[in-house]
Structure 1
Amino acid sequence: MSQTKDDRKGTIANVNCRYYVKINGVEKAVFSEVSGLQMETELFEYAEGGNNEFIHRLPGLTKVGNVTLKRGVSVDNELFKWYMRIAQGIMDLRTVTITMYATTGKQVVRWELLRAFPCKWSGPQMAANGDAVALETIELAHMGVLAVD
């Protein structure tokens, strides 16, 4: 991840291209893309009795989104094997760590996906005349996100 200076505010913004993903049980997992790292809190609204001009808005349940990882197909096929264990009913829950780095190599932020498991796997698109890298995609459901220092 490189840094760019925002001249309007005089701040430094971290660019999103330097990161590392670690999955317990998967030794060689270099991913070209990570997406879906998000949380959303539902709103609970209610009107106070006798006050028709105001609606209270309070936080409700917080939901986490699935995280999608993409990488070039590798010979170990470990992500597909993990998905197949889940599909066969074996609850193989793992911690997934996503770490973002500055250009200096210093860690900027780290997130942990708690009790993650694959809920979707997509293999590469193949074409006889194609020259693109064969990518596999795995979508992970998880029980929550922690920001770790």
Structure 2
Amino acid sequence: MPMFAVNTHRIDPYSNFKFRVSWDNQPVAGLSKMSALKKSTEVTEWRAAADNSIVRKLPGRTKFEPVTLEAGLSHDRKFLDWANMVNNPQGDPAASLLNYRKEVIVQVLNLQGTPAMQFKLSRAWVSEFQALPEMDANANAVAIQSVKFEFENFELDLAITEPAET
């Protein structure tokens, strides 16, 4: 069975360095890294007294691991603005109860830059924001800012289908 329905000639899976993340219909500028998109379901063990010493296993609660995004430090305020919606430096009344949760879109791109897969992450909100990395005058590196967000579910967007590659 081929791995790709449209591009049956293709034998290579998608690369992890071609992706796009966006919210509020705007892609994140200078994004360099995203942690894994992951969910796990707890195991509930159960045993009836009359069973032959067998422990049965049932699915329990499902949780979604937070996602961390890293971007090169620039004048783009996307991370800061979202983090301030959850915890505003001007105090609790300035926090945005209406807008702090976002739908985050993660696109996997093929080598031509065309979206090949898309995931929608629901009800995301910032739990951690790093405005500046450790600064080091002796280093030769890009300054990275990061945001960690929690979310409640993700789903594959079936409207995005495998693009024909030329």
Q: Which bracket does the TM-score occupy, shorter chain normalised?
A: 0.7 to 0.9
Query: Structure 2 regions of 5+ residues with no counterpart?
Result: 1-9, 89-94, 159-166
How far did 1:17 drift? 1.0
Work out the CA distance in 1 between the residues paired with 2:37 and 2:113.
Answer: 22
Query: Structure 1 regions of 5+ residues with no counterpart?
Result: 1-9
* Structure 2 partner of 1:138: 147
Q: Percent identity?
A: 24
Is the CA contact (8 Å cut-off) linking 2:46 and 2:57 kept in structure 1? yes
Work out the CA distance in 2 between the residues paired with 1:55 and 1:28.
Answer: 47
1:14-93 correspondence to structure 2 within 5 Å: 14-24=14-24, 26=26, 28-88=28-88, 89-91=95-97, 92-93=100-101
Work out the CA distance in 1 between the residues paired with 2:81 and 2:122.
Answer: 20
Change beyond 3 A, Cα 1:62–1:77: same
TM-score by length of 2: 0.75
* Structure 2 partner of 1:99: 107
1:126 equivalent to 2:126? Answer no
RMSD, matched Cα: 2.0
One of 116, 122, 145 as aligned partner of 1:114:
122
TM-score by length of 1: 0.83
SS in 2 for 1:117: strand
Is the CA contact (8 Å cut-off) linking 1:121 and 1:137 kept in structure 2? yes
Work out the CA distance in 2 between the residues paired with 1:50 and 1:22.
Answer: 54
Which of the pair is proportionally richer in strand? 1
Q: Indicate the larger mover: 86-95 or 30-39.
A: 86-95
- What amino acid sits opposite 1:114 in the alignment? S
- What amino acid sits opposite 1:82 in the alignment? W
- What amino acid sits opposite 2:140 in the alignment? D
